[in-house]
Amino acid sequence: MKLGIVGLPNVGKSTLFNSLTKAGAESANYPFCTIDPNVGVVAVPDNRLKLLGDLYHSKKVTPAVIEFVDIAGLVKGASKGEGLGNQFLANIREVDAIVHVVRCFEDPNVIHVEGSVDPIRDIETINLELIFSDIEILERRIAKTSKSAFNDKSLAKEVEILKELKAILEDGKLASTYENDDEDVMAFVNSLNLLTCKPVIFAANVGEEDLADDGASNPHVAAVRKYAAENNCEVFVICAQIEQEIAELDDDEKQEYLDALGLSESGLDKLIAASYRLLGLISYLTSGEDETRAWTIKVGTKAPQAAGKIHSDFERGFIRAEVVNYQDLLDCGTYAKAKEKGLVGLEGKDYVVKDGDVILFRFNV
Ligand code: GDP
């Protein structure tokens, strides 16, 4: 899973990204992750892992991870830019969701590119670039599909949908506001990979003084919350500067610092939790002497596809899954005890994996 961090210059993107990478996981353990200075690999906090690892005396414990991509340089006019501007937009096209950082802090020492703090104007500036880019994609697609539709009448419906989407964008709205009850139509819309269809989390970057009440007394945050509610997006309040400081502390110091600020968890942990929710992700767990590990899947994933996250052979040769709920296993104290109590299920290929399932896959090689 990859999230792209976007926002106007000077809103705190790099500060946030740096704190993410400092707190980051060792990417060597995650061969699927991109090695790139603009990509940070971040562990998904999961208290269950340590306890499960202790139960199995696992040699190592490996959390699930999310990748964050720093997409700096998205500025007004990016969609018209030939080279770089387009490159940034291409980077956004590759991510699963967008973290849109908006400046809600006042600080005369930090210049705002537009001269004043106004998060809604900033959001709309960025959105407009995304909209322009999507319109361009749609226009090309409409031209191509219309041509093919001469010979293949079944494509007429696609042309119609493409035109509807374009009209929405030309109206200044995001493609994510497009609605249709027909699943096939929605699948087609999703296949277009439009930038303005991607899920968005707003990171309202506030000053330290706004942290204790979660930005409740900051009118800029209120404006972002209202905008997000109207557009089906999540918001979370962060102080990028403080996050950067927290990222440099070790775990004990970190908790002390959070307590002193009156916070229960760091902004980064909130961001990761919000990303998981937004993307409809859950974790299942595997455990043994070598390793206890969390694996990320989408809600609704069936056992063979979940197994495929570990290795494609597991999916291809899937026979069955032995599944026990994490809490049941911990309460029983051993796997054998859980089995004895009938808490270990033997599940087939239609089993929908749940968050916190501890799974042992049986497969043919
Ligand atoms: P980017 O251009 O969006 O990547 O912005 P940066 O992360 O480089 O931040 C721009 C400036 O704003 C830097 O001088 C940061 O120290 C400052 N900054 C970032 N976050 C905060 C914040 O939460 N409060 C204050 N006062 N300054 C911040």
Kindly state if the Cβ of 111 falls inside 6 Å of ligand 1: no
Q: What is the CATH topology of the domain spanning 2-46+64-115+198-278?
A: Rossmann fold (3.40.50)
How long is the chain?
A: 365
How far apart, in whole angstroms, are the C-alpha atoms of residue 131 and residue 196?
7
Kindly state if the Cβ of 71 falls inside 6 Å of ligand 1: no
Kindly state if the Cβ of 218 falls inside 6 Å of ligand 1: no
The pLDDT tens digits of the residues spanning 57-79 come to 999 999 998 888 988 767 777 67
**CA quadruple 220, 224, 229, 230: dihedral positive or negative?**
positive
Residue located via tokens 């979370």: 236
Looking at the chain, the domain(s) classified CATH 3.10.20.30 span: 300-363
ipTM: 0.95
Q: How confident is the model at residue 258 (pLDDT cuts 50, 70, 90)?
A: confident
Say what the pLDDT of residue 5 is: 93
Looking at the chain, the domain(s) classified CATH 1.10.150.300 span: 132-196
- Residue 121: its H or E element: helix 119-149
Say what the pLDDT of residue 211 is: 87
Residue 1 has pLDDT above 90, yes or no: no
Kindly state if the Cβ of 102 falls inside 6 Å of ligand 1: no
How far apart, in whole angstroms, are the C-alpha atoms of residue 63 and residue 45?
7
Domain spanning 132-196: which superfamily? Obg-related GTPase Ych/YyaF, coiled-coil domain (1.10.150.300)
Task: Please answer whether residues 132 and 79 qualify as being in contact, where contact means their C-beta atoms are separated by less than 8 angstroms.
Answer: yes
Residue 29 has pLDDT above 80, yes or no: no
How far apart, in whole angstroms, are the C-alpha atoms of residue 262 and residue 254?
12
**CA quadruple 118, 101, 169, 38: dihedral positive or negative?**
positive
Q: Quote the radius of gyration of the chain (alpha carbons, Å).
A: 23
Looking at the chain, the domain(s) classified CATH 3.40.50.300 span: 2-46+64-115+198-278
Q: What is the mean pLDDT of the chain?
A: 89
Q: What are phi and psi of 187, to 5 degrees?
A: -65, -40
How far apart, in whole angstroms, are the C-alpha atoms of residue 35 and residue 27?
8
Q: Give the residue with greater pLDDT, 258 vs 340.
A: 340
91 marked as binding residue? no
Q: Which residues of 140-156 are buried (b: 16+ CB within 10 A; e: fewer)?
A: ebbeebeeebeeeeebe
Domain 300-363 - what CATH class? alpha beta
14 marked as binding residue? yes
Kindly state if the Cβ of 207 falls inside 6 Å of ligand 1: yes
The pLDDT tens digits of the residues spanning 81-125 come to 655 567 778 889 999 999 999 999 988 888 777 778 899 999 999
10 marked as binding residue? yes
How much of the chain, in percent, has pLDDT values that exceed 90?
Answer: 60
Structure tokens at 274: 């919000």
Say what the pLDDT of residue 55 is: 94
How far apart, in whole angstroms, are the C-alpha atoms of residue 33 and residue 65?
9
Q: What are phi and psi of 100, to 5 degrees?
A: -100, 110
Residues 6+ apart with CB under 8 A from 32: none
| Cα(241) to centroid(ligand 1), Å | 7
Which ligand 1 atom minimizes the distance to the CA of 15? 7
* Rounded average pLDDT over 325-354: 95
| Cα(38) to centroid(ligand 1), Å | 17
Q: Which of 21, 125, 241, 244 to mutate to test the pocket of ligand 1 (most atoms within 8 A of CB)?
A: 241
Q: What are phi and psi of 113, to 5 degrees?
A: -60, -25
Residues 6+ apart with CB under 8 A from 33: 27, 39, 41, 65, 67
- Residue 234: its H or E element: strand 234-238
